[in-house]
Amino acid sequence: SAVISQKPSRDICQRGTSLTIQCQVDSQVTMMFWYRQQPGQSLTLIATANQGSEATYESGFVIDKFPISRPNLTFSTLTVSNMSPEDSSIYLCSAEEAGANVLTFGAGSRLTVL
């Protein structure tokens, strides 16, 4: 299965700043997704990263707050904009290889906003 690398693995950020998380897959994948895992909670889908077009956001998430890029079939970025302490979470990138019927996840990026 695909191997997904995320960076940074963790960061401490100041309120009001923005941070971009990178997700690199070691093979071409059809679908890429971004999830958020708030402290002590389960995973919530933020958006589907579409190659060559705008991301598709889930209810409660907007592009201005979480802009996403996907310039090719192996790479995506998620930016967390104008951060507040409520954005302190683990952000996970996931991907699905064509025909695999399963999602593979990166190790996550743990953000702490002070």
Partner 1 sequence: AQSVTQLGSHVSVSEGALVLLRCNYSSSVPPYLFWYVQYPNQGLQLLLKYTSAATLVKGINGFEAEFKKSETSFHLTKPSAHMSDAAEYFCAVSALGGGYNKLIFGAGTRLAVHP
Contact set with partner 1 (CB under 8 A): 4, 31, 33, 41-45, 48, 92, 94, 96, 101-108, 110
Whichever of 14 and 53 has its CB closer to partner 1, that residue is 53
Q: Which backbone phi and psi does 50 adopt, to 5 degrees?
A: -95, 130
Whichever of 41 and 82 has its CB closer to partner 1, that residue is 41
The sign one gets for the Cα dihedral 17, 88, 12, 3 is: negative
> How far apart are CB 4 and partner 1 at their closest, in Å?
8
Whichever of 27 and 44 has its CB closer to partner 1, that residue is 44
Write out the two tokens for 28: 């071409």
Cis link prior to 71 (omega < 30° from 0)?
Answer: no
